[in-house]
Amino acid sequence: MKLIIASDHGGYSLKEAIIKHLRSKDMDCVDIGVTSEDSVDYPDFAEEVAAKVSTGEVDRGILVCGTGIGMAITANKFKGVRAAVVTDEFTARMSREHNDANVIALGGRVLNNDVALNIVNAWLETEFSGGRHERRLQKIQQIETKNFK
Ligand code: RB5
């Protein structure tokens, strides 16, 4: 699975912990920044990740800001991106089983590292359930097609 990750200053420390965790499991993850806690604008980083997920250049993206909210709002402006703000293992699992979320957005000022790493594990391990959820995703896609020119 091709993974990409980015954060703003509010998510920098958690992003670094996630990368270390993934590498300890021999999982590669392209890191597009940030590289310090200097203040930046989260849409710039969400845009780069979401664009690559949208075109299929990568399979999934992880975005971290202070709350995860701004990153998810931005990422969901891209066709085919289903970005979920996830706060625990349950929502992480549901975001995959029911929503086939291809991006998760985490809050570096919301989650402690242990919870966040468990969220990442659950999100990576859980498959989309399909069935009735497939029909609902198709409806989302139709709305996208109608509204995104
Ligand atoms: C930056 O201060 C903060 O607004 C950002 O990290 C994020 O929480 C936005 O949703």
Rounded to the nearest angstrom, the distance between the alpha carbon of 134 and the centre of ligand 1 is 32
Rg (CA), the chain: 14
Of 87, 21, 12, 18, residue with least CA distance to 42: 12
Homologous superfamily, domain 2-147: Sugar-phosphate isomerase, RpiB/LacA/LacB (3.40.1400.10)
Q: What is the pLDDT of residue 149?
A: 76
pLDDT at 127: 98
pLDDT digits (tens, 9 = 90+) for 92-141: 999 999 999 999 999 999 999 999 999 999 999 999 999 999 999 999 99
Q: Choose, from 9, 21, 98, 133, the residue flagged as catalytic.
A: 98
On whether the CB atoms of residues 90 and 96 are closer than 8 A, the answer is no
**Tens digit of pLDDT for each residue in 21-47?**
999 999 989 999 999 999 999 999 999
Structure token pair of residue 43: 């849409």
In sequence order, what are the residues at sequence separation of 6 or more whose Cβ sits closer than 8 angstroms to the Cβ of residue 3? 22, 27, 28, 29, 30, 58, 59, 60, 61, 62
Q: 74 CB under 6 A from ligand 1?
A: no
State yes or no: is 98 an active-site residue.
Answer: yes
- Model confidence at 6: pLDDT above 90: yes
- The full set of domain ranges for the chain reads 2-147
Smallest CA-to-CA distance from 87 within 113, 121, 114, 115 is with: 115
